[in-house]
């Protein structure tokens, strides 16, 4: 599919959080997401995210863990969790701000705006934008330009860049607890239920 990269996390899965200890269940969901994305980010070799179509919430958080993001001209990006009474739980409160700066990160998260590829390039969220038909060829060319260089030097450079970026683990830990707190408030259940009801109504028309 060319119109959707990912629509984000499984919303129906969030309802399972309310089946037991809500706070701790939500914290564990956030920790699990951060653990998986952290593994992606810490891979010793360069990882490229080639995005086409809609890329929201957890999908965008996954892209933020990559070394380079190449977007097709039909790509759209959004960190829209607050629309459902949730905060980003997979690291976006930390990674988005380091890429686009705190002012723009706040704007994107607070407003839940979905931006197009052109704006994503302007704010530094992606490295380049190419026509959809050229996405694969562009990424392959980028890979060729990388692999002709020293593997050892690239691996060491990646390690040092990441060490220079992440010097405060409290931000990620705070995201875990914040994710638990918003779910424990009950608001996500109300907003997600309303969203799913609206979605079902539209589907049945």
User: What value does the mean pLDDT take over residues 34-42?
Assistant: 95
Alpha-helix runs per DSSP H in the chain: 11-14, 22-41, 57-64, 92-100, 102-111, 117-122, 135-147, 151-165, 170-184, 187-204
User: What value does the mean pLDDT take over residues 51-68?
Assistant: 97
Q: For the chain, what is the domain count?
A: 1
- Please tell me the predicted confidence (pLDDT) of residue 10: 83
Q: Chain-wide mean pLDDT for the chain?
A: 94
Task: Read off the tokens for 142.
Answer: 């980028």
169 has pLDDT over 80: no
Structural domain span for residue 41: 4-204
- Please tell me the predicted confidence (pLDDT) of residue 165: 85
Catalytic residue among 81, 175, 181, 187: 81
Q: Cα separations (Å) of 93 from 144, 166, 193?
A: 32, 13, 25
Confidence of residue 167 (pLDDT cuts 50, 70, 90): low
User: What value does the mean pLDDT take over residues 118-138?
Assistant: 98
CB 81 within 8 A of CB 108: no
Catalytic residue among 12, 19, 61, 136: 61
What CATH number does the domain containing 198 carry?
A: 3.90.226.10
Whether 19 is catalytic:
no
Whether 28 is catalytic:
no
- How far is it, in rounded angstroms, from Cα 75 to Cα 117? 5
């Amino acid at each position: 599919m060319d119109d959707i990269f990912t629509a984000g996390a499984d919303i129906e899965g969030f309802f399972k959080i309310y089946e037991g200890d809500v706070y701790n269940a939500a914290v564990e969901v956030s920790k699990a997401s951060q653990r998986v994305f952290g593994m992606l980010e810490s891979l010793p070799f360069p990882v490229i995210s080639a995005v086409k179509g809609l890329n929201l919430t957890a999908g965008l958080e996954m892209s933020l863990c990559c070394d380079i993001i190449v977007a097709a001209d039909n790509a759209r990006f959004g960190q829209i969790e607050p629309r459902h009474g949730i905060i980003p739980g997979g690291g976006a409160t930390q990674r988005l701000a380091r890429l686009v700066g705190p002012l723009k990160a706040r704007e994107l998260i607070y407003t839940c705006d979905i931006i197009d590829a052109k704006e994503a390039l302007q704010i530094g969220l992606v490295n380049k934008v190419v026509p959809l038909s050229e996405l694969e060829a562009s990424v392959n060319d980028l890979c060729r330009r990388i692999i002709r260089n020293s593997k050892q030097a690239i691996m060491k450079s990646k390690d040092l860049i990441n060490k220079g970026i992440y010097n405060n683990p409290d931000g990620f830990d705070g995201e875990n607890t914040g994710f638990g707190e918003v779910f424990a408030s009950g608001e996500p259940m109300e907003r997600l239920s309303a969203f799913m009801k609206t979605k079902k109504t539209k589907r049945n028309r």
